[in-house]
Amino acid sequence: MIKPILIMKTGSSLPGLVTRRGDFEDWIINGSGQPRERFVVINVENGEALPDPAGISAVIITGSHAMVTDHEPWSETAARWLGAAVRCNLPILGICYGHQLLAYALGGEVAYNPNGREYGSTEIRFSHKARADRLFKVIEPHPTGFVSHAQTVSRLPEHAVHLAFSAKDDNQAFCFNHNVWGLQFHPEFDADITRAYIENSREVIKKEGGDPDALLANCQDTPLGSQVLHRFIEIVNEPNAA
């Protein structure tokens, strides 16, 4: 029997967007190309208990509107569980909040981004080490990805490999132990979802000196997200992946 992939749900998206398009876990499942039956969703923000890592094949951690630095009890519990999952050698993919939570769980640091909030579509620039990385070696250099975040990984965990950056964030991606990845960008977003986030934050963007209309105009769909999610599934499916 194939073990399920755990989606650790750390929050929900914008209410109107959830009504119209579904939530973070739905976008991840849709982007993966896998049937929903392949996944089990555990809502840790709502206090749902996480399973024994031995009973799952991999972990994907969603984004959230929470902040890692608030150290909510559910988040701290999830971080401790992730430490155990890493020691079990499970393939793990953290997205946005999940990226930051994963870095924190491994001994890194999270803080508000000194370069300000990052919204919209941005070029993801990969380091030379990404060319040999299991997840990113199939990705073309300098693709465009979708972002929406205020906090960042301010210090990577010890022994983590830095893989990518953008104009406003030094840590867009990292790898740990060859099978654990954190992504600040959103592989599950598309242009429509990203535009909804820009519209929701229009006044904040303007207050910080940004141009929401320019960000909206710059949002175009990109293959990066589906490529990353499909490649992660390929890694999970490899013999002895965990």
Residue 188 annotated as catalytic: yes
Nearest CA to 23 out of 42, 2, 44, 9 is that of 9
Q: 25, 96, 118, 175: which is the annotated catalytic residue?
A: 96
Q: 99, 118, 186, 219: which is the annotated catalytic residue?
A: 186
Nearest CA to 10 out of 125, 134, 100, 130 is that of 100
Please state, in angstroms and rounded to a whole number, the distance separating the CA atoms of residues 238 and 231.
11
Residue 96 annotated as catalytic: yes
Q: 25, 45, 118, 188: which is the annotated catalytic residue?
A: 188
Contacts 24+ apart (CB under 8 A), 111-117: 111/69, 111/151, 111/152, 111/154, 112/69, 112/150, 112/151, 112/152, 113/149, 113/150, 113/151, 113/152, 113/168, 113/169, 115/168, 115/169, 116/168, 116/208, 117/149, 117/150, 117/201, 117/204, 117/205, 117/208
Residues acting as catalytic residues: 96, 186, 188
